């Protein structure tokens, strides 16, 4: 079963892709294991955490178990999500959303993306033998588009804003062109990104950090982390939930703007293209996660993003600009008191440099 995240209406698992009220759907319940195993094989990708995952099918390209490394220059620990098979944390959600597609009998999946989610969904669809059709902005990076095409997926470039790409994909879904494997809408995707939280806790011997920091567009990782840490606490594997801190791009920062934490007079941050989301369908859930964890969101300028991306490269972390917003925001979080001296903080480095 699935339930609406706003009006609680219930639906079968197979369809529709959103509620008749327009809001995103979620699984009616979160599966929780009884007790944790003494150790994990670390050989099954996200499926090492199958007891937390609501689907019976499995697809894997070796995602998950990304390293957690010390970054003293930032007074933080980095979770190297950019080391995933297709270069971003989206592989976690692609593994589970494609498994869900198999479970509901879909034979073709549709997704809209600025790049990373499209490549992840296309790659896992190829692995599972499903057809994929990926809608991308006409302005998307050519290298990324080529890589999507090489999986055998159909790529549909759409002129205009990021919103018009989503609109074109939704039109096709509504017209029966395929099953919507969306990283913004499909709850199966968020079940997968929650595995980042399970791993962080496992890698720290079942202690949770004071805070985790991640770029925030649709909230695909932000909400995954919240849901994952919440499930761990409910299962009794951990005893706290970290503050969840999100970083947005100036000019595309609906959540940070509500919190009054956008720098004045800065130009739009056109570098951080992975989080150019002005109206995330799960905004109500992002706000809820911030309230529940004493979290926060701030907006980061293009200048700070560029500076920080160079600094990360200079330290050996080869990440894309969107990802650099997460470390670029650390001074802001510290100035605002959302991070205190001595806080134990994990920063997700989400996507690799192309
Ligand atoms: Zn509803």
Ligand 1 center to 204 CA (angstroms): 38
More confident residue, 114 or 108: 108
Ligand 1 center to 39 CA (angstroms): 40
Q: Considering the entire predicted model, what is its pTM?
A: 0.97
pLDDT for position 282: 98
Ligand 1 center to 284 CA (angstroms): 13
Q: How confident is the model at residue 41 (pLDDT cuts 50, 70, 90)?
A: confident
68-88+189-349 against 90-184: fold identical: yes
Q: Compute the average pLDDT of residues 11-30.
A: 96
Domain ranges of the chain: 68-88+189-349, 90-184
Ligand 1 center to 27 CA (angstroms): 13
Q: How confident is the model at residue 266 (pLDDT cuts 50, 70, 90)?
A: confident
pLDDT for position 354: 74
Express each pLDDT in 143-180 by its tens digit: 989 999 999 999 999 999 889 999 999 999 999 999 99
Q: Compute the average pLDDT of residues 324-350.
A: 97
Ligand 1 center to 7 CA (angstroms): 4
Q: Which structure tokens are listed for 299?
A: 């907006």
Express each pLDDT in 229-258 by its tens digit: 999 999 999 999 999 999 999 999 999 999
Radius of gyration of the chain (CA): 19
Q: Compute the average pLDDT of residues 322-350.
A: 97
Ligand 1 center to 8 CA (angstroms): 6
Ligand 1 center to 255 CA (angstroms): 22
Ligand 1 center to 280 CA (angstroms): 16
Cα torsion 310, 145, 79, 291 to 10°: value is: 100
Ligand 1 center to 102 CA (angstroms): 25
Per the prediction, the chain carries an average pLDDT of: 96
Domain boundaries 68-88+189-349, corresponding CATH code:
3.40.50.1100
Ligand 1 center to 20 CA (angstroms): 6
Residue 208 near residue 201 (C-beta atoms within 8 A): yes
Q: Compute the average pLDDT of residues 45-51.
A: 96
Pair type for strands 108-112 and 179-180 = parallel
pLDDT for position 225: 98
Class of domain 90-184: alpha beta
For residue 261, pLDDT over 70 is answered with: no
Q: Which structure tokens are listed for 249?
A: 């791009």
Ligand 1 center to 13 CA (angstroms): 15
């Amino acid at each position: 079963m699935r339930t609406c995240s706003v009006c609680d209406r219930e639906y079968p698992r197979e369809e529709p892709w959103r509620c008749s009220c327009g809001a995103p759907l979620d699984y009616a319940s979160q599966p929780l294991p009884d007790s944790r195993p003494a150790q994990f094989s670390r050989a099954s990708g996200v499926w090492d955490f199958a007891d937390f995952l609501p689907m019976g099918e499995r697809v894997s390209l070796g995602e998950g178990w990304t390293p957690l490394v010390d970054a003293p220059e930032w007074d933080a620990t980095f979770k190297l999500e950019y080391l995933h098979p297709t270069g971003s944390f989206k592989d976690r959600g692609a593994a589970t959303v494609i498994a869900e597609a198999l479970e509901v009998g879909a034979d073709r999946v549709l997704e809209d993306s600025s790049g990373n989610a499209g490549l992840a969904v296309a790659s896992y669809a190829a692995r599972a033998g499903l057809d994929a059709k990926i809608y991308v902005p006409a302005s998307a990076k050519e290298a990324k588009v080529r890589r999507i095409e090489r999986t055998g997926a159909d790529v549909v470039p759409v002129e205009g804003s990021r919103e018009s790409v989503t609109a074109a994909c939704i039109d096709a879904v509504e017209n029966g062109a395929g099953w919507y494997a969306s990283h913004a809408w499909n709850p199966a995707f968020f079940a997968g990104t929650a595995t980042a939280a399970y791993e962080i806790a496992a890698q720290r011997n079942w202690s949770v950090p004071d805070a985790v920091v991640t770029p925030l567009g649709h909230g695909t990782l932000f909400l995954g982390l919240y849901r994952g840490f919440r499930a761990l606490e409910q299962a009794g594997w951990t005893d706290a939930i970290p503050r969840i801190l999100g970083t947005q791009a100036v000019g595309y920062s609906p959540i940070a703007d509500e919190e009054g934490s956008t720098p004045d007079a800065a130009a739009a941050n056109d570098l951080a293209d992975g989080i150019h989301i002005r109206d995330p369908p799960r905004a109500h859930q992002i706000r809820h996660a911030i309230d529940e964890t004493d979290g926060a969101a701030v907006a980061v300028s293009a200048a700070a993003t560029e500076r920080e991306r160079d600094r990360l490269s200079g330290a050996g972390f080869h990440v894309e600009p969107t990802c650099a917003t997460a470390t670029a925001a650390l001074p802001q979080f510290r100035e605002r008191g959302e991070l205190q001296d001595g806080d134990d903080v994990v920063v997700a480095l989400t996507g690799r440099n192309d």
